[in-house]
Structure 1
Amino acid sequence: MKSQDIRSTFLNFFQEKSHLVVPSAPMVTKDDPTLMFVNSGMAPFKEYFLGNGKPKKNRLTDSQKCLRVSGKHNDLEEVGYDTYHHTLFEMLGNWSFGDYFKKEAIAWAWELLTEVYKIDKDILYVTVFEGSDDSDNLNMDTEAYDIWKQYISEDRILKGNKKDNFWEMGEQGPCGPCSEIHVDIRTPEEKAKIDGKTLVNEDHPQVVEIWNLVFMQYNRKANGSLEELPNKHIDTGMGFERLCMVLQDVKSNYDTDVFTPIIREIEAITNTTYNKEEKIDIAIRVISDHVRAVAFSIADGQLPSNTGAGYVIRRILRRAVRYGFTFLNKKEPFIYRLVDVLSKKMGTAFPELKAQKQLIENVIKEEETSFLRALDQGLILLDGIISSSKTKEISGDKAFELYDTYGFPIDLTALILSEKGYTLDEIGFQEELQKQKNRSRAASEMSTDDWTVLHNDAVEEFVGYDLLETNVKITKFRKVTSKKDGEMYQLVFNLTPFYPEGGGQVGDKGYLKDTHGDVVYILDTKKENNVIIHFTKNLPKHLNENFKAVVDAKQRYRTECNHTATHLLHQALREVLGSHVEQKGSSVHSKYLRFDFSHFSKMTVEELRDVENFVNARISGKLNLEEKRNIPMQQAIDEGAMALFGEKYGDTVRAIKFGNSVELCGGTHVKNTGDIWHFKIKSEGAVAAGIRRIEAITNDAVKDFYFENNRVLFEVKDILNNAKDPVKAVQKLQDENTTLQKQIEQLLKDKAKNLSGEIKNQLQEINGVQFLATKVDLDANGIKNLAFEIGKEHQNLFLLFATAPTKDKAMLTCYISKELANERGYNAGTVVRELGKLIHGGGGGQPFFATAGGKNPGGIPKALEKAKDYLV
């Protein structure tokens, strides 16, 4: 059975059981601060489990894209070394929200596996929760046990502990016991040696869990206690890749048709053969897995970057590049070439791969190129560390600096050291790594109390499209404490005029005022699992009274000007550059807007001018806002609205129209484009391969921009004695400055040349080294030229030059002949770092040339005196 048939059979089976088939949600989460990526099939449905929203139907089924590379569920380091862990995987699931429970979930799972997929019953085991005698004091799940007895012999029903058979979405929230279904695909000879039940949950590559049936019946509170949920739910997740392994009768996920086309392409590109050598096999598995994770992430709108989710994606891709570099001998980009076969294989089930194929290829290729350059630089730095080391063991902090600052992989460091006869202080490295993790963990540490419910108002309504102030009541609140923000309170109202951060638009600020005149300021507004949360430093005194909620109208208005401008900008870019332009992200604040879009080259001055003119023409045209709320998604698309990749849309949407600009958008906007006043682009540049970014301003910010430019112009004219043509006057000054600079450079060269003769006469030999430490009156470039000029004529040279260009600035320059650096282990970088302390500064460089700067010229004599200590 082919993988696409396995997926469709699952969805069709549950559709026939009255489940609604829903598409996979984007992998990057938007309104869930506890998750960076969707890491399980249930994550997109958390709001339903929490009671914050109502699903389209009480029975749903899907195949959800998941990514497990950070936090509690982190499979990254196992990927490639075994045959069944992945970064990206599909989770087949069926869901019941207060509808059916254990009886139906177990019966249908057994029917699908044994009667539809026709898996041999004799290779299946199931587990049930055995209970716990800890603080939860939970009983064994005898209900599930008794149901399973109807389908499978009792010797194949195993009792599992809390770790394996009690599922929790996090430290708080819905949870419950679960039944896992395991499959034993070992050969008859292997089965004869050891009973399969002893290998369940023991990480055996052929005795693996394929399906987990979670029975959500409890809620975990902030204090750790459990309470019964008012409604019981079913949450199941079956690993698609593992199911394919079973149904295609192979022993590895990588031998299924999910991966074999990618593996064949890797073999062809790298001229290697899979299943011949373990190291090569691991590398090929890593690359075939990681390209899927990176490609799907980019398709869902998450580009590689240095922070957050983008950093995780970059790390995954760099891991793949590293394995190709080390074990497949690929020193040039090649992973991007796998995107074509991936999109052909999975593009039907996930059309975003086909639609974004060119962008995905461009981004991956640029990332590969950049990291390969970093590897080259890292190799040079590592050679420097080795050559300057006085022992055969490289310290952990040196290796960590290489890893942390330059992104050089630690296992590659260890491999190279081993090849050169050196060892790595791995304990020291792990200590440095742990320190960094602790710092990061402490910075993001947060504790959240349970919600205190004041009013059972099931529906929280947003009225901010029409109102900026209204009477509200607080329905619930909780305290949140973090190292970053200290103690904060989160409030939920029965209705709210405050727009929550989303769609690139910043959350509203404002205040609450009670009937006594007391005011509490709302510092931010966000959405979490479909609940609008208002952040405040202080808890209102009179919680149960009515409040007037007031949005900061000035900030909202400026933000709306910028948000509407992003829609007009999107239209302008497609008009000026072409229909290939698509929005790839935006950030809308009260002071500025940022807009990311797909385009292959830097915009010209003329294109930027045309875009500005296009937007300002629509502003001058005073186009009215045409808004359609809660219209069917398909109707909006038919009417020309643009949907963005990576966004999660419901059955009904909100469409925003200004003239011919039509977009799906939940944000707030001006009523008329004339309110924007004017639009001004401040910058345009690259974010990633094929992605450009425009930063722009509108309204008051434009007025301030022109006012400031006008003020600067008057000051420049005053400095130029009110020259009639200030541009020409500045150009004249630049020409004169260039001429004078050339004259100065020539004078300094002549000075350095004359000084060179004097310096040579001052050299003294110490232990076979030509040594001199002296103060010179030259600039940094002149000192460098002087050092290298003397270095051409003398070997075994050790020079330390000092200069003090001002009364509070000092500089040291160290030059060491390369033969000295290599043979005796001298290191100019080490010299200036240590002596730099005497001038209250520091620096660094290469073993043969380095500089240090400081603010204490008074330390120069002592630094020159101590330089001799390195030779004796």
Structure 2
Amino acid sequence: MYSGNQLREMFLKYFEAKGHRILPSASLIPKDDPTLLLTVAGMVPFKPYFQRRVEPPFPRATTAQKCVRTPDLEEVGKTARHHTFFEMLGNFSFGDYFKENAIPWAWEYVTEVLKLPVEKLWVTIHPEDEEARQIWLDKAGVKPERIAIDESNFWAAGPTGPCGPCSEIYVDLGENRGCGRPECAVGCECDRFLEIWNLVFMQYNRDEAGNLTPLPKQNIDTGMGLERIASVMQGVESNFDTDLFRPIIDKVADLAGIRYKDDPKSDMALKVVADHSRAVSFMLSDGIRPDNEGRGYVLRRILRRAVRFARLIGIEKPFLEQVFLVIQRDYAHHYPELKENENFILNHLRLEEKNFQATLEQGTQILQERIRALQAEGKTVLSGRDAFYLYETYGFPVELTEEILNEQNLKVDLQDFERAAEEHRRLAREQSRQRRAVQESPIVTERAKRLGMTPFLGYERASTEATVEALFLGGEEIMDAGEGDEVICFLSQTPFYAESGGQTADRGVLETARAEAEVLEVKKGVTGTIYHTLRIKRGVLHRGEKVTAAVDAGARAATARHHSATHLLQAALRGVLGDHVRQSGSLVTPERLRFDFTHFSALTPAQLTLVEEKVNEAVLANLTVSSVEMRLADAKASGATALFGEKYGEVVRVVRMGDFSRELCGGTHVRATGEVGLVKILAESGIGAGLRRIEAVAGLNSLAYVRGLESQAQELAQILKTPASEVARRVEGLLGQIKDLDREVQQLQVKVARGEASDLLAKMQDVEGVGVLAVQVQAPDMEGLRQISDLLRDKLKQGVIILSAVAEGKVNWVAAVKPVGLRGLHAGQIIKEVAKITDGGGGGRPDMAQAGGKDPGKVSEALGQVPQIIRSFLS
């Protein structure tokens, strides 16, 4: 029996022997592909090669590619094959070989390497692909009766891009795995016939309108799911029973105190938790962070679903860290990022799991409120809309909702839930289509491909002579651009830095003797061609003429100061906080810098001061800034810091600042750190779970900031009529006086309230035999309102008190019930209903509770509703 690891290695080695280059898996974050959130198939990293937007550096490749798909998320755990994360074994030809090789090799691998019995194998083809049929018959030797027609045999990765007809290999797992129907055959939805390999004959490109056009060259994209072939080779009923999953499932079962295969309901939860834990681990290892949108939302949703299903089998404490360590142990030898990024993964698992526990408790409280409302109304069915709201907003699985309802002899309308879920999916698909990026004009793309990489001279100089290679207006190539036109321009060489790595593009001009154009934007295409967006300010710019391309030297220098400062800042942060700090984004402009990094708590004032001191000490040391190109492996071995989640080429540029900082970076920098000038941190804040942000200025911008502070200090000193050095002490004294005055006002208000207590109690009304006082009073804050409530309660033998006060535009509420348990009334429940009317909420003990509200204009309405609310509880 082959292990999953052996099967992965066997596949790669087989195709290496057939002339394919073994490549490591690409990131789960698709590179330069706006049509996909995640890598969903093995061919995704090679789409530019299939479309010939980039010339392939080699004709053949083979990979074990990490993939994540979530359209069938709800099916995970219910079937034998559905997963969120899976590994796709693939072999690819970029215009080298086609069907005549791909088909015989696939058959040879399945029958001679894996030694699957020929009599158990079936093949499907597209009805119009007679060529494939003949190759299966003549070259592979498959019998005609073993070839079936399948109209669905057409494959594409995403809504647009390369696609083509496909051919599949199925294995017959035996009658005992089938549905038993006489018509059961290949294509039946039962588990008997399992697709193990898909050969895609990549011949076309599909555009936004769905039109198919032939690709420049015919390509091969084949894929074999590792989990599926492992289940076949290991003779187990489902992918979850393979050695790729069982250690994970066994760990989860151990944490839950149960055994796998004892109970179908528990087994489903175990499968979901194992699958989702694996997906979350790999997504985090590629630098994807939990978020409320995009791929971060996909990650968060999968992680929360794992936690929810873990609760169904009794795991209520954080557990994902322990499960990750099992995944890391079994997978890190092939996917080293699971080890390299261990701290990042563990920190996010801990934080996200802890935060979700609190969210789950909120959802439970809301469900309990709905249960009480159903019981009060004499109903037994929770609407599917309410169940879906809990699912979508609080991450409550409908299974958990069902379980809690069952305990109260209630149930949920599952058909209504499915309708709400389908409507949500429909809206999500529509939004996805609207967000899909508009593809570049084919004319521009083709021209860029022919020109290839634009030589960048900006590291050495700020201006150069260049030739205008092409001009485009509205996606069409033109010969001349006149005054006022906004065009895209390709140059033979350029000093302009294209926006990249967080650094904004250079500003500047293109000039000839008779024309001048302002450079508005500079970007780099996938071919390495640099796109200059220009606005013609005077004259006419002609294709083919010589121009002087000049960068705004002042802006370039200011940008370089801020970029170099980010390198110093990262080194200082790692020195103060630890090596877990990793850059996770930045913005570098002539005016300022913004630096995002991984850390799981706010920096203390002392830490922030120390970081700033370390950065400025490095500036004063005037360290030499140098750069060198080297192989990626050598750069990492030298200790150079890389941007987490970024995928680099084989050759990288390493920027070094003495022994203080060494980073992979393609940006522009100062020649020595002394040129950076004073670096002043402006702010430090949290921008997400485990993610912090520092904003700072350098050089002349720091001087401007300090001068601004001085000006403010002088203005305050004049207002307070005190020397600037005494401003802080003077303000402190004034604040103390304000607090004393506030305290006096509060005491006076309480005295007035004490004197008015009898008058207020005279306003009590009878509600079905219970005395109820509901009034608005004057109180500066919640503490003052509670004191008035206590005065009234002391004078009251029995009854209910509801007090409201408006302070600083907000509503404060206090409720009291005396004695405790009077007619079953609960102060916390009463005040919650009253506060809702003012767009607020709260709660508390049976005898005393408080709440807040946002709408002072509805206080009178809320007080008027108190008798009715009391009656509802009495009934």
**Distance between the aligned counterparts of 1:121 and 1:233, measured in 2?**
27
CA contact (8 A) 1:96 1:235 kept: yes
Match of 1:264 among 228, 250, 270: 250
* Equivalent residue, structure 1, for 2:294: 308
Aligned 1:699-710 pairs, distance under 5 A = 699-710=699-710
Q: What is the CA-CA distance between 1:587 and the residue it aligns to? A: 4.0
Q: What is the CA-CA distance between 1:794 and the residue it aligns to? A: 6.8
The 3 A distance-change label for structure 1 pair 357 and 852 is closer
**Distance between the aligned counterparts of 1:543 and 1:178, measured in 2?**
49
* Equivalent residue, structure 2, for 1:107: 104
CA contact (8 A) 1:562 1:698 kept: yes
Q: What is the CA-CA distance between 1:475 and the residue it aligns to? A: 6.6
1:369 paired with 2:354, answer yes
The 3 A distance-change label for structure 1 pair 209 and 530 is farther
Residues 764-790 of structure 1, C-alpha deviations (whole Å, 9 max, x = no match): 103344333433222341335545765
**Distance between the aligned counterparts of 1:512 and 1:830, measured in 2?**
68
* Equivalent residue, structure 2, for 1:255: 241
1:126 paired with 2:123, answer yes
* Equivalent residue, structure 1, for 2:800: 797
**Distance between the aligned counterparts of 2:80 and 2:616, measured in 1?**
57
The unaligned stretches of length 5 or more in structure 2 are 477-484
* Equivalent residue, structure 2, for 1:712: 712
* Equivalent residue, structure 2, for 1:545: 543
Q: What is the CA-CA distance between 1:170 and the residue it aligns to? A: 3.3
The 3 A distance-change label for structure 1 pair 599 and 861 is closer
CA contact (8 A) 2:84 2:275 kept: yes
1:642 paired with 2:638, answer no
The 3 A distance-change label for structure 1 pair 441 and 103 is closer
* Aligned amino acid, residue 92 of structure 2: W
The 3 A distance-change label for structure 1 pair 764 and 608 is closer
1:158 counterpart SS class: strand
Match of 2:195 among 209, 216, 219: 209
**Distance between the aligned counterparts of 1:535 and 1:410, measured in 2?**
51
* Equivalent residue, structure 2, for 1:277: 263
Q: What is the CA-CA distance between 1:507 and the residue it aligns to? A: 5.0
Aligned 1:595-634 pairs, distance under 5 A = 595-597=595-597, 603-629=603-629, 631-634=630-633
2:158 counterpart SS class: coil
2:775 counterpart SS class: strand
The 3 A distance-change label for structure 1 pair 514 and 184 is farther
Length-normalised TM-score, structure 2: 0.85
* Aligned amino acid, residue 649 of structure 1: Y
The 3 A distance-change label for structure 1 pair 802 and 599 is closer
* Equivalent residue, structure 2, for 1:472: 468
**Distance between the aligned counterparts of 1:473 and 1:260, measured in 2?**
59
**Distance between the aligned counterparts of 1:407 and 1:755, measured in 2?**
50
Q: What is the CA-CA distance between 1:463 and the residue it aligns to? A: 1.8
**Distance between the aligned counterparts of 2:673 and 2:402, measured in 1?**
61
Aligned 1:780-795 pairs, distance under 5 A = 780-781=781-782, 782-787=784-789
* Equivalent residue, structure 1, for 2:232: 246
Match of 1:360 among 342, 345, 349: 345
The 3 A distance-change label for structure 1 pair 867 and 4 is closer
**Distance between the aligned counterparts of 1:539 and 1:91, measured in 2?**
53
* Equivalent residue, structure 2, for 1:725: 726
CA contact (8 A) 1:352 1:645 kept: no
CA contact (8 A) 1:624 1:673 kept: yes
* Equivalent residue, structure 2, for 1:198: 185
CA contact (8 A) 1:171 1:222 kept: yes
CA contact (8 A) 1:498 1:509 kept: yes
How many corresponding residue pairs?
835
**Distance between the aligned counterparts of 2:402 and 2:179, measured in 1?**
42
**Distance between the aligned counterparts of 1:228 and 1:709, measured in 2?**
64
The 3 A distance-change label for structure 1 pair 27 and 753 is farther
1:725 counterpart SS class: helix
* Equivalent residue, structure 2, for 1:165: 153
Q: What is the CA-CA distance between 1:301 and the residue it aligns to? A: 1.4
**Distance between the aligned counterparts of 1:86 and 1:475, measured in 2?**
48
Match of 2:146 among 140, 143, 156: 156
Q: What is the CA-CA distance between 1:274 and the residue it aligns to? A: 0.7
Length-normalised TM-score, structure 1: 0.85
**Distance between the aligned counterparts of 1:698 and 1:870, measured in 2?**
61
Q: What is the CA-CA distance between 1:337 and the residue it aligns to? A: 0.8
The 3 A distance-change label for structure 1 pair 816 and 727 is closer
The 3 A distance-change label for structure 1 pair 216 and 441 is closer
* Equivalent residue, structure 1, for 2:7: 6
Identity %: 37
1:628 counterpart SS class: strand
Aligned 1:79-478 pairs, distance under 5 A = 79-130=76-127, 140-150=128-138, 151=140, 152-161=142-151, 164-186=152-174, 188-190=175-177, 193=180, 198-200=185-187, 202-325=188-311, 327-388=312-373, 391=377, 392=379, 393-394=381-382, 399=387, 402-424=390-412, 426=416, 429-430=420-421, 433=424, 437=428, 440-441=431-432, 444=435, 447-448=438-439, 450-453=441-444, 455=447, 457-461=450-454, 463=456, 465-466=458-459, 471-474=467-470
Residues 548-574 of structure 1, C-alpha deviations (whole Å, 9 max, x = no match): 677666555443322222222233334
Q: What is the CA-CA distance between 1:544 and the residue it aligns to? A: 7.5
Residues 480-509 of structure 1, C-alpha deviations (whole Å, 9 max, x = no match): 9xxxxxxx9995735565544443334556
The 3 A distance-change label for structure 1 pair 518 and 101 is same
- What is the aligned-residue RMSD (CA, Å)? 4.0
1:375 counterpart SS class: helix
The unaligned stretches of length 5 or more in structure 1 are 131-139, 481-487, 837-841
1:47 paired with 2:48, answer yes
CA contact (8 A) 1:340 1:357 kept: no
* Aligned amino acid, residue 150 of structure 2: G
1:47 counterpart SS class: helix
Residues 252-285 of structure 1, C-alpha deviations (whole Å, 9 max, x = no match): 1111111111111112211111111112111111
2:762 counterpart SS class: helix
* Equivalent residue, structure 2, for 1:134: none
* Aligned amino acid, residue 321 of structure 2: Y
The 3 A distance-change label for structure 1 pair 529 and 267 is farther
Q: What is the CA-CA distance between 1:745 and the residue it aligns to? A: 4.0
CA contact (8 A) 1:514 1:542 kept: no
The 3 A distance-change label for structure 1 pair 155 and 381 is same
Aligned 1:828-847 pairs, distance under 5 A = 828-829=831-832, 831-834=834-837, 836=838, 842-846=839-843
* Aligned amino acid, residue 211 of structure 1: W
1:762 counterpart SS class: coil
1:457 counterpart SS class: helix
CA contact (8 A) 1:65 1:91 kept: yes
**Distance between the aligned counterparts of 2:509 and 2:253, measured in 1?**
62
* Aligned amino acid, residue 559 of structure 2: T
The 3 A distance-change label for structure 1 pair 617 and 78 is same
Q: What is the CA-CA distance between 1:384 and the residue it aligns to? A: 2.8
* Equivalent residue, structure 1, for 2:674: 674
**Distance between the aligned counterparts of 1:789 and 1:510, measured in 2?**
74
**Distance between the aligned counterparts of 2:689 and 2:776, measured in 1?**
49
2:168 counterpart SS class: strand
CA contact (8 A) 1:91 1:238 kept: yes
The 3 A distance-change label for structure 1 pair 444 and 511 is farther
1:561 paired with 2:561, answer yes
**Distance between the aligned counterparts of 1:213 and 1:669, measured in 2?**
48
* Equivalent residue, structure 2, for 1:133: none
CA contact (8 A) 2:560 2:668 kept: yes
* Aligned amino acid, residue 614 of structure 1: K
* Equivalent residue, structure 2, for 1:68: 69
The 3 A distance-change label for structure 1 pair 769 and 363 is same
CA contact (8 A) 2:785 2:803 kept: no
The 3 A distance-change label for structure 1 pair 628 and 383 is same
